Structure 1
Amino acid sequence: MPKHPDEPTVPRAQDIALIERFIAHLTHERRLSEHTARAYRHDLLQIATWLAAQDQREVRSIERLDEAGIRRYTAWRHRQGVSGQTLQRELSSLRGFYRWLVRENQALANPAVGIRAPKSPRTLPHTLDADQLGALLEPVDDDPLGIRDTAMVELFYSSGLRLAELVSLDLGDLDLSEGELGVIGKGSKGRRVPVGRKARAAIERWLAVRPTLANRDERALFVSLRGGRIHPRTVEKRLERWALERGAGQHLHPHLLRHSFATHLLESSGDLRAVQELLGHANIGTTQIYTHLDFQHLAQVYDQAHPRARKKGSKPDEQP
């Protein structure tokens, strides 16, 4: 019989145990980041919760879920208004989960392989322009936490780092003399990225005061007030506060700085492959979203400057 509407639904214990075994595989064998493992867990528990709420005659373990069941789940999520991007991520989590089950001889096939989420309109990431960022970075902090926060913002923007990449940096990853940084990205893939002049200066200021905060023998480049490696959530909160104190007028987060890095670099160079390499994207299709941002910028220039684009009687803002 179906569950009573007021009765809370929780995943079956055996499903939770199986999911946790898979998460342990991701963290200990595949060495994926805590953030990635948390996303997998969230997606799989979401599916297991839905499965537990189904008619009792159809309830089965998540490891026995078939293609028809996955399609029903996808349709249910779509009716809830969940975006195609979120559904695609959940299906990706399922595909990874079943690949592991097949390897462990707990499933004969991967039922999620041929299922694709409905497409949804692609949203372009918001960015800050170079002048906005320059104005935010101009004030100089004197206290150690402010110096640290400025160094983090400069590094996010200078090198296009993900949040997980920045917090995992060790002192040994940094080569200021060469202006380079060794980064471990998604899938434990390493890459080297340049560190710009302004970011190097900000990091040097931070390294001068870092000993006043860092615990003895702490290897992390960025540390918290307690002296250990800084937590991702702490970075997010500090960036929000950092922007608020400077009158930014909008929410500042690590990915906004990464998007701004990619967009400004592509606008200046036009080299999509180089931007892909610097961002650590495995697929250039992921990087191509920035070509849309670049085109928006070019379209605005065209509308303002081209004789056939301007409205009759209007004049360009500036003569060549």
Structure 2
Amino acid sequence: MPAGQPRSRATKNVGSKRHELGAYWLWYRADRDDWAICWYVDGTDGRGRRTCRKSLGIGGGNTGQPPKAAQDALAEHYLSNQKPVEAPIAQVYVEKLMADWLIEHAQPNLADPVRYANGVAHWLQFFAEERSAGRLSGPPTVADINSALVERFHAWRVQQGVSGHTIARDTAALRQPLNWAWKRNMIASAPFVPDVKNKGEPRDVVYSVEQVAQLLEAAWSLRDRQHIHMFAMIMLSTNARVEAVLDLDKDKQVRDGLIHFNAPGRQQTKKRRSIVPICPTLAPWLELYQGRAIQWQKRHVDRDTGEPWFEYLPTDSIKNAFNKTLVAAGICQQALDGDGKPVWLPPRHKLGETVPRPKLIGLGSPNTLRHTTSTEMHRRGVPEAQIETAAGHRGTGTNNRHYRHLRPEYLTQFIDGVESFWADVGKLTKAHLLDHNRAKIFHLMV
């Protein structure tokens, strides 16, 4: 067997196109229904290079179509193993610019760098096929980027059954690195990168009051998901941005009955962070513990007594936990593969299962809570200006933007709308209300 070839009878990757990102690729072990990240390392004992593997504990999919969770894990592994550029020297190779942009800009500054890393991976695969077809003589330079090449990429992704919105995100993974390099004088100019045609209408999901109640109950039922409960409470009470809620430090940003979503010393960006009054339903939840508002509870077991205890840890990503909460709440659907066919997972024999089970994915995302809040406020007659202000959209006039939060009437109709919404939720559940028993679970009395 050649050096570096995974030694398993379940390996059937020969002749199949594997999902790669840089020096790393995904490998599927069918007998264990498990994906792993693989890479080569040079041997030090004269045996040549060998293959290292890191199991992900993720199942489903097939060799040619890894599940999204495995692709995200590969992108995270790629980002975490890149070495920063030592000096800002000029670069003309597009693939190098993309790698530098991911490390220096996307990873430290963007809310979801994994999404862009996946987009870069698609471009690298496309460039490789362009070289195989003879349309590129080697690694593409900035001079090779033109409308015809980008439109071929769009057509290539359409053939893979990808939606227009996904292709647009992939296109941004080329456009943004080029613009970033131009602004830093790394290239003389940034070529025009056309957007995808026929993108289609956005598919915004909005949760009903009944679904919000189900989500809160599912989030509260397990301690390692109760940070999703807190996240949902803040999102639905403020109309804030996802990143602003994840960054919220209550000790520094909650004062005088207001949440200042833009932290002290942080410069406002185009995605402005607002100042929102604390509604009565949310107020007691913000007093449960100090520091970051969104902290997940990691379970430990005492070695001496065997008793479990929980450690609070801040988190910058709730994507997976939010999806699992949606599935637990029944707000989900069966996943589809690249051909649009339902995905089935093998039975878990340890749990007594004898037949395959559907792979379920949640409907919507953390940002769906923001869409839900806006929709509910419109439905309840809250003025558009107050909804936009809470959302962080710019108002008119410098004085209005800087000082309106000091007025006694600031966002009063928005808060009335939020409390009206919570009253309707209260007809279905009490999971949004903090009582004595819930406070005790956090080991605090409020």
TM-score, normalising length: structure 2 = 0.49
Query: Cα RMSD (Å) of the superposition?
Result: 3.9
Partner residue of 1:39?
115
State the distance in 2 between where 1:142 and 1:39 align.
30
Matched, 1:237 2:349: no
Q: 1:150 Cα deviation (Å)? A: 3.3
Partner residue of 2:156?
76
Partner residue of 1:227?
312
Amino acid at match of 1:101: A
Structure 1: tracts of 5 or more residues without a match: 211-218, 284-320
Structure 1's 175 and 92: CA in aligned 2 closer, same or farther, altered over 3 A?
same
Deviation string 1:68-111 (CA, Å, 9 cap, x unpaired) is 21222122222333222122222233222111222344434322
CA contact (8 A) 1:170 1:221 kept: yes
Structure 1's 145 and 264: CA in aligned 2 closer, same or farther, altered over 3 A?
same
Q: 1:12 Cα deviation (Å)? A: 6.9
SS of residue matched to 2:151: helix
Amino acid at match of 1:53: E
State the distance in 1 between where 2:237 and 2:271 align.
21
Deviation string 1:238-286 (CA, Å, 9 cap, x unpaired) is 6744883xx5555474223222111011222364444333223579xxx
Matched, 1:156 2:228: no
State the distance in 2 between where 1:140 and 1:104 align.
44
CA contact (8 A) 2:294 2:314 kept: yes
Alignment counterpart, residue 249 of structure 2, candidates 170, 176, 181: 170
State the distance in 2 between where 1:100 and 1:150 align.
37
State the distance in 2 between where 1:156 and 1:40 align.
25
Q: 1:199 Cα deviation (Å)? A: 1.3
Alignment counterpart, residue 274 of structure 2, candidates 170, 188, 191: 191
State the distance in 2 between where 1:129 and 1:142 align.
20
Deviation string 1:94-131 (CA, Å, 9 cap, x unpaired) is 22211122234443432234x12112331442222335
Partner residue of 2:201?
122
Structure 1's 51 and 242: CA in aligned 2 closer, same or farther, altered over 3 A?
closer
Alignment counterpart, residue 286 of structure 2, candidates 178, 203, 214: 203
SS of residue matched to 1:53: helix
Amino acid at match of 2:254: D
CA contact (8 A) 1:64 1:107 kept: no
State the distance in 2 between where 1:173 and 1:275 align.
24
Partner residue of 1:95?
175
Q: 1:229 Cα deviation (Å)? A: 0.9
Q: 1:198 Cα deviation (Å)? A: 0.9
Give the paired residue count: 262
Structure 1's 11 and 170: CA in aligned 2 closer, same or farther, altered over 3 A?
closer
How is 1:1-320 mapped onto 2 (pairs within 5 angstroms)? 6=16, 8=18, 17-27=96-106, 32-35=109-112, 37-56=113-132, 57=134, 58=136, 59-61=138-140, 63-67=142-146, 68-113=148-193, 115-130=194-209, 132-133=211-212, 137=216, 148-175=227-254, 177-183=256-262, 189-204=272-287, 206-207=288-289, 219-224=291-296, 225=298, 226-233=311-318, 236-237=320-321, 240-241=324-325, 244=328, 250=332, 251=362, 253-269=365-381, 271-280=383-392
Amino acid at match of 2:314: R
Deviation string 1:25-60 (CA, Å, 9 cap, x unpaired) is 3158xx62351x322222123112210222344133
Partner residue of 1:318?
none
Would you tell me which structure has more helix in proportion to its own residues? 1
SS of residue matched to 2:207: coil
Amino acid at match of 1:79: Q
SS of residue matched to 1:221: coil
State the distance in 1 between where 2:217 and 2:295 align.
23
State the distance in 2 between where 1:175 and 1:55 align.
55
State the distance in 1 between where 2:223 and 2:16 align.
51
Partner residue of 1:289?
none
Structure 2: tracts of 5 or more residues without a match: 1-13, 24-92, 299-310, 333-361, 396-446
CA contact (8 A) 1:169 1:221 kept: yes
CA contact (8 A) 1:223 1:229 kept: yes
CA contact (8 A) 1:160 1:278 kept: yes
Residue range with higher mean Cα deviation, 77-86 or 173-182: 173-182
Structure 1's 259 and 186: CA in aligned 2 closer, same or farther, altered over 3 A?
farther
Give percent identity, aligned residues only. Answer: 16
Would you tell me which structure has more strand in proportion to its own residues? 2
Amino acid at match of 1:222: I
CA contact (8 A) 2:142 2:191 kept: no
CA contact (8 A) 2:274 2:391 kept: no
CA contact (8 A) 2:95 2:139 kept: no
Structure 1's 174 and 239: CA in aligned 2 closer, same or farther, altered over 3 A?
farther
